[in-house]
Structure 1
C-alpha cells in the first residue's frame, strides 16, 4: 500500500498536514543544523519566501529542481531531453535548467557559487560550440541552435531542425542568468553576463524570415527553411519579444502587430470565457515563465480588455470545464483531474476500450478537442499554477492522493499517465507501462515539462523569474517595440 508520507523523505508529513497546507516540519539534527524534509537542505540557508505553498507543492518544486541539477551534465551543462531513458540533449531544456539554478539558490538547495559555476560551464560550452551550414559536426548556424544535440560533443543530433522556438527558450534562460547573476565584484558572474550577451547578440533573427514579417519555425541544411511560420497565437510570444529586442539583428518595426492581426481566428468562447485559444496548455505557459504579462497589454489585448495573463487564466478554466464535460468519455476526467498539453503518450495505435474503438498517440500536443486520447500531464497544471491556483493546487493534491506512487517518483510527477488504458494494446507501448489501479504510466521525465514546473511554482511563490527579467533591458526593449504598455513597463 502506498505510504502518503513517502514523498517528503524521512521526516514525513502526515495526511492532516497535507490537507491543511501546513508548512513542512524540519528534522532537527545536531550538525550541521536543521535539515529540511528532502534530507539534503540545511534550513539555516533558506531565506524566507514571500508566499507559502502546501508541502506537496514545495516537494514537487524541489524535486523538479533536482531533476535539472542531477541529470544535467555538470561538465558541459547539457540537459537531456528526457530521463531515465537515454537521450539526446534538448536546447530548450538547457534554457529551463539555466532558469532553475538561481531558484535552487534562493531556497538554499545549492549555493550561489555552485549555481554560478554550473551556469558558466553551460554558457562556455554554448559559446564554444561550432557553428556553420554543414549538415554534421556543428551545433547551430547564425546564432540559432539545433533542436536536439548529441549528448557527448553537442553536435546536431540526427536530422533535427535549426529551431527558432527552442533557441528562444534557450536564450530566455540565458538572459535570466545574465540578469540574476549581477554581482559586479565576482569574476564568474561577470563572465556569465558577458557570455550571455554574446550568445544573444549572435542570433540572426532577420535571416530566418523567408516570408516576412513572420519568423519561420526553422531551417534544415538539406532543404532550407521550414515551410511553416509562427503565424498564430501560441508560445511564440517569447520568440517575437526576443527578436524585437535584439541589439544586433532586430525584427522589423510592426512585426508584432502584423503577427497579432492573425489572432482573431483563435478568439472564442468554447468551454469557458472568451479568450485566445491554443489547445495544449504549454502555449499559454512558456512565454509566461520569463515575462510577467500581468497589467501590460499590446494593441490586440487592449482591444479585448484583458491581458495575456488573464488569457492564460481563462485557458486553464477552459481545460477544467472540458474535463468536467468530458465529451470523449475518458476515464478519470473531472473537476479534480485534468490537464492536457504536449507530453508523452502510450503509442500510436488504435484499440477498443469500454466497447469503443479509440485512437492513441505517442508524444503529441494534446488539448481540449484536439488529439485528446485520455492522456493527462501534470505539467499542464503545475506550469499554470500562477494563473489559477484556486483550482490547480486542489487538483494537483487530488491527483497525488488518487494515484500516489504510481505517478510520483524521484523527480516528482512522471510526465504523463492515461487511466483509460487498463490492458495491453495490440502493439508494445512506445513509452511507459501498465500500473495496477492507474492504467498506462510514463516512466520518463521530460526537461521541457519539468522546466515550467520549477519556474512557475517560483513565480507563484515569489515572482523571482518575472522580477529578474523586468531588469533585463533586452526584454523591456522587445516588449516596448511590440507595443506593450502599462503595468510594470510604466
Structure 2
C-alpha cells in the first residue's frame, strides 16, 4: 500500500509540479521502496544504474562516453573522452553478460564507436584526450595538449581488447568488430612515444607542439597499464628496458614506509589518490600479479587500507568522515576539481574511491555503499548512479558525473563479483606476452 501511495504522489507531481521536483521525488521514492535490498541486489542496482551513464547518455553520433554530465569548464555538448570510453566499453561487456542489454545491441554500439575512432584524429595511431563526438576532431585538453595522449589511449585499448575477447562468436558482426579492433590496435605506435628511442615513455606528442610538454611517464601512479600495453603491441612494442629504466626509475616509485601500521610497497606517502589502484586494474588482475618490484595485490590492498584508515582517524576533523564515509581520489569538489588524498585533503569524499575498491576491501566498501545509498542517497543518488563527490563540511553535494569515475564503479564491482573483466583482458595473448617480456608472473599466464 505504501508503494502504491508513493507512485500516486508521483503522478500528482507530474500533473502539477515541475520536472526537477518530479525527478527528485522519484529518487526519494526509489530509495524508500528499496530499503530492504540484499547486498547482492544493491550491487545489481548500483551497477545497472551507473551503466546508464554510458548507455543512455553516450554521444549520439559516436557512441563514445561524454567527459561529464554537466557543462562546467566550458566543455560543451560534443566533448567525448578517450579513456572514459575505454571504461565504458568494459561496462558494456558487463551489461551484456548480466542481460541488461542484448548482445546484438552491444555489438552495434561498439561498432559505432570503432567506426568513429577509425576516422577520428589520431597521432601515430594514438588518440587525443578529448574528441569532438560529432566530427572526430581533436578538442585540445590544454594549450599544448592538442595531440596524442598515450595514457588515455591505453585506457581505451584496455576496454577494446577486453571487448575483443568477449565478443568471440563467428557471426559477421562480431567478426567485423574484432577485425576493426585489431586493425586499430596494430596501428598504434607505442614506441614513437619514447621520443627517438629514449628509455622512458612520454605522455604527449602533437604535430603543432611536438614533445614540448615533455611529460615523462614514471611510476608509481595510474599508468602501469600504459607500459604493459606498450610492451604488448604486436607491431610497435617498446623493449623491456623502457619499463625498467623509465617507469620504475623514479624517486616516488619505491616507498616501503609504514602509515597507520600498514607498510606501503610503492608510491608517494600515504599512497596518493585511490584511482592509482583502479584504472590499470580494471583489466590487469592484481591477484598473484608480481614483478621484481612489487606484489600488486599487496600494493593495491594496502593503498586502500591506508586511505580508509586516514578517513577513519580524520586528523583534520572533517564532518562525516569515518568507517562509513571514506575514499579520497580525483573528482569534482566544491571549488573546482582536485586529486584528493591523505596528503591533499580538503573534506571531499568521492563514492568511486570506496566502491571501485570492492575487490580489495569488500566488507569496508559495502559498509560505505550502504551509507552512501541509504543515508546520503537523497543528496547523491541520481539517474546515473551516485554523483561525483560530496563535502559535508562545506554542505556541498555534486550534481555532476564524470566518465572516469562512473566506469570503474561498474567494472571493479563486477571484478569483485565474478572476475569477468580480469579473465577477459588477461586472456589476451599479446598482454600475456607483454607481461612476460617485463618479467611479470601471474596465474593467468600460460
**Normalized against structure 1, the TM-score is what?**
0.79
Residue correspondence of structure 1 range 335-346 to structure 2 within 5 A? 335-346=323-334
CA 1:10–1:337 in structure 2 vs 1: closer, same or farther (change >3 Å)?
closer
What residue in structure 2 maps to residue 268 of structure 1?
257
Distance in 2 (alpha carbons) for counterparts of 1:469 and 1:454: 16
What residue in structure 1 maps to residue 229 of structure 2?
242
Residue correspondence of structure 1 range 375-414 to structure 2 within 5 A? 375-414=348-387
SS at match of 1:82: coil
What residue in structure 2 maps to residue 331 of structure 1?
319
Offset of residue 6 of structure 1: 6.3
CA 1:264–1:99 in structure 2 vs 1: closer, same or farther (change >3 Å)?
closer
SS at match of 2:343: coil
The yes-or-no answer on 1:365 pairing with 2:339 is yes
Name whichever of 158-167 and 408-417 sits farther off: 158-167
Assess if the C-alpha contact under 8 Å between 1:272 and 1:317 holds in 2.
no
User: 2:104 pairs with 98, 108, 113, which one?
Assistant: 113
The yes-or-no answer on 1:149 pairing with 2:131 is yes
The yes-or-no answer on 1:476 pairing with 2:432 is yes
**1:320-368 deviation per Cα after TM superposition (whole angstroms, max 9, x unaligned):** 1111222222211112111111101122xxxxxxxxxxxxxx1121111
Offset of residue 58 of structure 1: 1.7
Offset of residue 473 of structure 1: 1.1
Assess if the C-alpha contact under 8 Å between 2:427 and 2:444 holds in 1.
no
Distance in 2 (alpha carbons) for counterparts of 1:150 and 1:11: 36
Assess if the C-alpha contact under 8 Å between 1:63 and 1:412 holds in 2.
yes
What residue in structure 2 maps to residue 90 of structure 1?
81
What residue in structure 2 maps to residue 291 of structure 1?
284
Assess if the C-alpha contact under 8 Å between 1:89 and 1:154 holds in 2.
no
Offset of residue 7 of structure 1: 5.7
CA 1:335–1:481 in structure 2 vs 1: closer, same or farther (change >3 Å)?
same
Offset of residue 54 of structure 1: 3.1
What residue in structure 2 maps to residue 134 of structure 1?
none
User: 2:192 pairs with 192, 197, 207, which one?
Assistant: 207
Offset of residue 74 of structure 1: 4.1
Name whichever of 75-84 and 231-240 sits farther off: 75-84
CA 1:486–1:446 in structure 2 vs 1: closer, same or farther (change >3 Å)?
closer
What residue in structure 2 maps to residue 192 of structure 1?
177
Residue correspondence of structure 1 range 46-65 to structure 2 within 5 A? 53-65=39-51
Assess if the C-alpha contact under 8 Å between 1:246 and 1:474 holds in 2.
yes
Offset of residue 14 of structure 1: 4.7
Assess if the C-alpha contact under 8 Å between 1:376 and 1:417 holds in 2.
yes
In structure 1, stretches of 5+ residues that fail to align are 23-52, 130-138, 302-306, 348-361, 422-438
The yes-or-no answer on 1:319 pairing with 2:307 is yes
In structure 2, stretches of 5+ residues that fail to align are 1-5, 7-23
Assess if the C-alpha contact under 8 Å between 1:80 and 1:90 holds in 2.
yes
Distance in 1 (alpha carbons) for counterparts of 2:41 and 2:34: 10
Distance in 1 (alpha carbons) for counterparts of 2:167 and 2:277: 28
**Normalized against structure 2, the TM-score is what?**
0.86
Offset of residue 479 of structure 1: 1.1
What residue in structure 2 maps to residue 425 of structure 1?
none
Residue correspondence of structure 1 range 29-178 to structure 2 within 5 A? 53-85=39-71, 86-87=76-77, 88-129=79-120, 139-158=121-140, 159=143, 160-161=145-146, 162-178=148-164
Offset of residue 13 of structure 1: 4.7
Distance in 2 (alpha carbons) for counterparts of 1:157 and 1:235: 23
Assess if the C-alpha contact under 8 Å between 1:7 and 1:59 holds in 2.
no
Distance in 2 (alpha carbons) for counterparts of 1:417 and 1:486: 38
Name whichever of 234-243 and 150-159 sits farther off: 150-159
SS at match of 2:107: helix
CA 1:269–1:382 in structure 2 vs 1: closer, same or farther (change >3 Å)?
same
**1:13-68 deviation per Cα after TM superposition (whole angstroms, max 9, x unaligned):** 553x23xxx3xxxxxxxxxxxxxxxxxxxxxxxxxxxxxx4332221100111110
Distance in 2 (alpha carbons) for counterparts of 1:460 and 1:183: 26
Offset of residue 229 of structure 1: 1.0
SS at match of 2:135: coil
Residue correspondence of structure 1 range 346-357 to structure 2 within 5 A? 346-347=334-335
Distance in 1 (alpha carbons) for counterparts of 2:69 and 2:46: 17
Assess if the C-alpha contact under 8 Å between 1:80 and 1:447 holds in 2.
yes
User: 1:182 pairs with 162, 168, 171, which one?
Assistant: 168
**1:92-116 deviation per Cα after TM superposition (whole angstroms, max 9, x unaligned):** 1111111111211111110000000
Offset of residue 317 of structure 1: 0.8
CA 1:223–1:486 in structure 2 vs 1: closer, same or farther (change >3 Å)?
closer
Distance in 2 (alpha carbons) for counterparts of 1:116 and 1:8: 35
The RMSD of aligned alpha carbons is 2.1
What residue in structure 2 maps to residue 227 of structure 1?
214
SS at match of 2:234: coil
Assess if the C-alpha contact under 8 Å between 2:219 and 2:253 holds in 1.
no
SS at match of 1:299: coil
